Amino acid sequence: MANTPTPIGGKYENKDIVSLDQFSSKDINILFKKVGLMKRIANKAKKSEILKGNIVALIFYEPSTRTFSSFSAAIKRLGGETIDLRDLERVSSVAKGESLKDTVRTLEAYCDALVIRHPEKGTAELTSEYIEIPVINAGDGTGEHPTQALLDLYTINEQRGALGGLTGLMVGDMLNGRTVHSLIRGLSKFKNNTVYLLSPKELRLSVSDREDFQKRGIRLIEIFSENEIPRNAHFWYWTRVQKERFKNLNTYNRVKNRFILNPDLIDKYAGKKTIFMHPLPRVLEIAEEVDKDPRAMYFRHQLKNGMYVRMALLGLVLGRLK
């Protein structure tokens, strides 16, 4: 069984990043203070040398567009290099039956850190026990997606000016959604936050997760109808119903488009400063007309913030930012 991940404790260098449970509010603020420098580096469109000489392996067992590209761009913006491994079960020695343990031990010989996405919950933490170099969780099944949560927290803080005293709405797959699991963990680090959870009954947050999160001090309120959406919330966080998590496609088809973010819903319940977020990819759960709304963050801010936050995180973990 995997051990409890090591807390950041104000010192990122050589730490594995596998869960938001490792972070305190102070740790999050330390990271965010480095993001401004990363923005300036990226906006100059000139390669930095902060990660010059570093090689990072990107090992993805699941499909990814944004997370893979964001990590790759973050490393290269800072002058580092990558070993890119995607679709491992088809194109690598995994197809020959090689174990995860042997794969990551092989990569450890060639690089300074490893970023992993895997369909099984807990795999990133397990990987961190196999190797000595830092491991960063890029999504582990229905578990967590810590770097997505960090960029989401950064976006909320950037737009709302605080991470405490917030009222938020999360919509979609609460049961399987690793992005919501990590974001709730992140919001629980700050005081007086309330989150409304809107999902089909089949995709409710598990009782154990709900009890665990609420022990951390965050207030969670389950709702099952758009009519229960609180007016003027600080943020709405929409997620897709994840087809790949369903064994029964009939169940998926029954719940996939239950809640759709559209202009009518916005006019009825959103405030003038409510921001609309989504970890992407979307399928049909956000109407394209919403993209033009200046409160829509998913293309306008979250994507770039993801690169900036990952730049800062990599610089800290590899000991190149102080």
pLDDT digits (tens, 9 = 90+) for 270-318: 999 999 999 999 988 999 999 999 999 999 999 999 999 999 999 999 9
The residue extents of the domains of the chain are 20-144+307-317, 146-302
Task: Please write the tens of the pLDDT for every residue from 71-110.
Answer: 999 999 999 999 999 876 654 556 556 789 999 999 999 9
Which one of 145, 178, 185, 189 is the catalytic residue? 145
pLDDT grade, residue 37 (50/70/90)? Answer: very high
Q: Is 185 a catalytic residue?
A: no
Give the separation between CA 92 and CA 247, rounded to whole angstroms.
Answer: 26
- Asked which of 17-21, 43-47, 190-194 is least confident by mean pLDDT, the reply is 43-47
Query: Is residue 2 over pLDDT 50?
Result: no
Q: Which residues of 57-88 are buried (b: 16+ CB within 10 A; e: fewer)?
A: bbbbbbebebbbebbbbbbbbbbbebeebbeb
Which one of 4, 46, 65, 96 is the catalytic residue? 96
Q: Is 274 a catalytic residue?
A: no
Task: Please write the tens of the pLDDT for every residue from 168-200.
Answer: 999 999 998 899 999 999 999 999 999 999 998
Quick check: bond before 281 cis, omega within 30?
yes
Token representation of residue 203: 């995709």
Short-list 24, 28, 26, 25, CA closest to 7: 24
Q: Which value, in Å, is the radius of gyration of the alpha carbons in the chain? A: 19
Give the separation between CA 290 and CA 91, rounded to whole angstroms.
Answer: 39
Domains 20-144+307-317 and 146-302 share a fold: yes
Query: Is residue 207 over pLDDT 70?
Result: yes
Phi and psi torsions of 60, nearest 5°: -120, 115
Q: Are 116 and 123 in contact (CB under 8 A)?
A: yes
**Average pLDDT taken over every residue of the chain:** 92
pLDDT grade, residue 47 (50/70/90)? Answer: confident
Q: Is 145 a catalytic residue?
A: yes
Which one of 117, 178, 185, 189 is the catalytic residue? 117
Q: Is 117 a catalytic residue?
A: yes
Task: Please write the tens of the pLDDT for every residue from 106-165.
Answer: 999 999 999 999 999 999 999 999 999 999 999 998 889 999 999 999 999 999 999 999
Please give the average per-residue pLDDT across 204-228, as a whole number: 94
What is the DSSP code (8-state) at residue 77?
A: H
Classify domain 146-302 at the CATH topology level: Rossmann fold (3.40.50)
Task: Please write the tens of the pLDDT for every residue from 221-269.
Answer: 999 999 999 999 999 999 987 656 556 666 666 666 788 999 999 999 9
pLDDT at 1: 38
Architecture of domain 20-144+307-317: 3-Layer(aba) Sandwich (3.40)
pLDDT grade, residue 42 (50/70/90)? Answer: very high
What is the DSSP code (8-state) at residue 286?
A: B
Token representation of residue 271: 């405030």
Give the separation between CA 309 and CA 74, rounded to whole angstroms.
Answer: 9
Model confidence, pTM: 0.93
Give the separation between CA 260 and CA 235, rounded to whole angstroms.
Answer: 16
Which one of 47, 66, 210, 304 is the catalytic residue? 66
Which one of 67, 82, 123, 155 is the catalytic residue? 67
Query: Is residue 3 over pLDDT 90?
Result: no
pLDDT at 249: 65
Q: Are 79 and 48 in contact (CB under 8 A)?
A: yes
Q: Looking at the chain, how many residues does it have? A: 322
Query: Could you tell me how far CA 217 lies from the centroid of its own chain?
Result: 21
